[in-house]
Structure 1
Amino acid sequence: MRDEHHRTKGPVGVPRRPAGVPAGDTPTAPPPGIRYAGIGDEAAPGLTGQLAALRELGWTALELRTVDGRALADLDEHAFGRLAERIAEAGTEVVCVDSRIADYNRPVTGPFARDTGELRVLARRCAVLGTRYVRVMSYPNDGLGEAEWARRVRHRMTALTRQAEDTGLVLLHENCAGWAGTRAERMLDLLHHVDSPALRLLFDTGNGVPYGYGSAALLEAVAEFVAHVHVKDAVRTRAGEVAYVLPGHGHAEVRECLTTLLRRGRRGTWSIEPHTRLRPHDGTDTREGDGVAAFVAHGRELERLVAREVLPAVAALPHGGGRG
């Protein structure tokens, strides 16, 4: 997600209907074992807009990151209680909470208590919301040598995972910021070092474009540990910037990644993260255009991509895909 060397920008306004997608496209069911969801604050800052975007898509699964600009762990008890009530009243399920633990704003030299404290709060709140999944990263460096950076990351992630075990949570490490963010061998090293089912991977299809690696190749190496997916797509412009586009319309190998997940028997939630309104990693929060409409356009294009390209690609594989 974060690009240390290049500025990022997203498309302005609402994406136009892609060529070949007829007007009045109706929702299509996801593949068996897959659920579609979305990171709510990508559509709107407030819960009303976030739920409205899901309702328009006909989806019932929400990934929570911020509400009215505040992280879930920072809400007071009254605000959180009302939030949980409204989500339940809407018939919506929370499938994952995106924390700030070990993320791009928390280097490995920072206070560890900040992360353990946030995890304690989220353990209580995830129990109320009915989800076990908490998104984390693996600590950016802050001037340490490679060996010391790795040592501290392994130590902290082991302690956080043991804390998650004690509270029934599963930490999902995203291929984003931190020591194990962009290299498959480090992801596998971290998983093997911690050695717990309470630490698994969250795979974001779009992060390879800003970070400069092939998403499909990285996924192939770590697919057996992927428990949750973010779907976004991006292109690098001639000016060296990153622009975010509809799923399947960029350079992030989204079709190949989703095909691999099904071929390897990975099931779970595919959650859209359009990056048209909000990009927390670079501080972008624009109110240009209609965030809900852009969010819905991305959801519809994911449905179309899966129905028309991913599922036929899986069906064409020997034995219709199966486990790799």
Structure 2
Amino acid sequence: MPDEAIIPRLAGITDEAAGALTGQIRVITDLGWSGIELRSLGGRALADLPAAEAARARRAITAAGINVVALDSRIGNWARPITAPFADDLAELDALAEWCSVLGTRAVRIMSYPNDGLAEPEWRDRVLDRMHRLAQRARELGLLLLHENCAGWAGRDPERMLQLLDAGDRSALLLLFDTGNGIEHGYSARDLLPRILPHIAHVHVKDATGGPGAASYALPGSGDAQVAECLQELLAAGYDGPLSLEPHLAVRPHEGLHPGESAADLFTTAGRSLEQLLQRLVPTAEPAR
């Protein structure tokens, strides 16, 4: 990796550390990081909360001297297959647009709709149509959709991801790369990365061992997801966007968003592991905070 590689801004999906915003902010400030990625507050998805909560969140986040790097939606995720009402996704996007405006970000994480018994051609056509309409709406709202390599039609296939981008609008739709999702979903994220690298605007960091349906999550760099190799390739290519920690050590979204007493400590330990990993990759530079 070239010496001039830029260490991306460190952030975290903090509802894996605490339910309340005060606890979510605390874990980021204790780490000394500058970015927070919001998915839920008090166990409730952002889009389900009153709009007034966004202003309260902004005041607390601004007072802590940190910034919001992205909001995580339920659009197209594991709980919303392709047969689910599309109106729910459009409504969520509109609601999150208000949050984005208040919190000073335009990035919204989405996925690409698990199948629900459809033949593959119909599944594909419905996904591409929805993605086209979502990207149109996002452009109107001034948002940037970030498709994650997780649940859905394009979750594990780089060629399908590029089809999504072609169906949408690259001013309003780019890719989110998660280092650890391949373990749970049965593919190599490291092998996926080179094909989509130019289109990545956001990165989630997690690590795991095991396999589909039996993933066991680990500290960054200690599992089988080749996290170090992925980060090294990203940095060598000049990636300078957020690296957002999503360790899954205490909380997995599929199982509910209710972190226990040890969640903040586990999150902090994972954060320090990520810092140490980055220092090994770029020994001449400290992780940017």
TM-score by length of 1: 0.83
How far the C-alpha of 1:240 sits from its partner, in A, is 6.8
Q: Distance between the aligned counterparts of 1:121 and 1:240, measured in 2? A: 33
Deviation of the 1:86 alpha carbon: 1.2
Name the residue aligned to 1:260: 233
2:91 aligned residue: 117
Question: In structure 2, what is the equivalent of residue 279 of structure 1?
Answer: 252
1:132 pairs, out of 70, 88, 106, with: 106
**Structure 1 stretch displaced more, 142-151 or 291-300:** 291-300
In 1, distance between residues paired with 2:268 and 2:79?
A: 29
Match of 1:301 among 270, 273, 279: 273
Separation (CA, whole Å) in 1 of partners of 2:276 and 2:264:
18
> Does structure 1 retain, via aligned residues, the 8 Å contact 2:16–2:259?
no
Q: Percent identity?
A: 51
**Cα distance, 1:102–1:34 mapped onto 2, change above 3 Å:** same
Structure-1 residue corresponding to 2:287: none
Letter in 1 for 2:132: T
1:191 to 143, 149, 165: 165
Residue identity in the other structure for 1:59: W
Aligned residue in 1 for 2:60: 86
State the match for 1:11 in structure 2. none
The answer to which of 187-196 and 63-72 deviates more is: 187-196
Displacement of 1:286 after TM fit? 4.9
Contact 2:51 2:99 in 1 (8 A): no
Aligned match of 1:161 in 135, 140, 143?
135
Paired residue for 2:282?
311
Match of 1:290 in 2: 262
Q: Displacement of 1:155 after TM fit?
A: 0.3
> What do the CA deviations read for 1:32-80 (whole angstroms, capped 9, x no partner)?
2510000010111111111110111001210000010011111113333
Instruction: String of CA shifts for 1:296-318, please: whole Å, max 9, x gaps.
Output: 1111111100111x2259xxxxx
Q: CA deviation at 1:116?
A: 0.4
Residue 42 in structure 1 maps to residue 13 in structure 2: no
1:150 counterpart residue number: 124
Match of residue 223 from structure 2: 250
> How many residue pairs end up in the alignment?
281
Q: Which runs of 5+ in 1 are unaligned?
A: 1-30, 314-324
Q: Secondary structure at the match of 2:224?
A: coil
Q: What does the per-residue CA deviation read over 1:164-208, in whole Å, with 9 as the maximum and x for residues that have no partner?
A: 001110000000000000111111111122242210000000001
The CA distance in 2 between the partners of 1:102 and 1:296, in whole Å, is 30
For 2:257 and 2:102, locate their aligned partners in 1 and report how far apart those are by CA, in whole Å: 30
For residue 268 of structure 1, what is the amino acid of its counterpart? G
Decide whether aligned partners of structure 1 residues 40 and 284 sit closer, same or farther in structure 2, where only a CA change above 3 A counts: closer
> Secondary structure of the residue that 1:229 maps to in structure 2?
strand
Distance across 2 between alignment mates of 1:76 and 1:283: 21
Query: Over alpha carbons, which structure has the higher Rg?
Result: 1
Conserved 8 A contact 1:279-1:285 = no
- Structure 2 unaligned residues grouped into runs of 5+: 285-289
Deviation of 1:151 (Å): 0.1
Question: Structure 2 residue aligned with 1:72, among 32, 43, 46?
Answer: 46
Which of 176, 189, 206 lines up with 2:150 in the alignment?
Answer: 176
SS for the counterpart of 1:278 is coil
Alignment partners' CA distance in 2, 1:146 and 1:300: 43
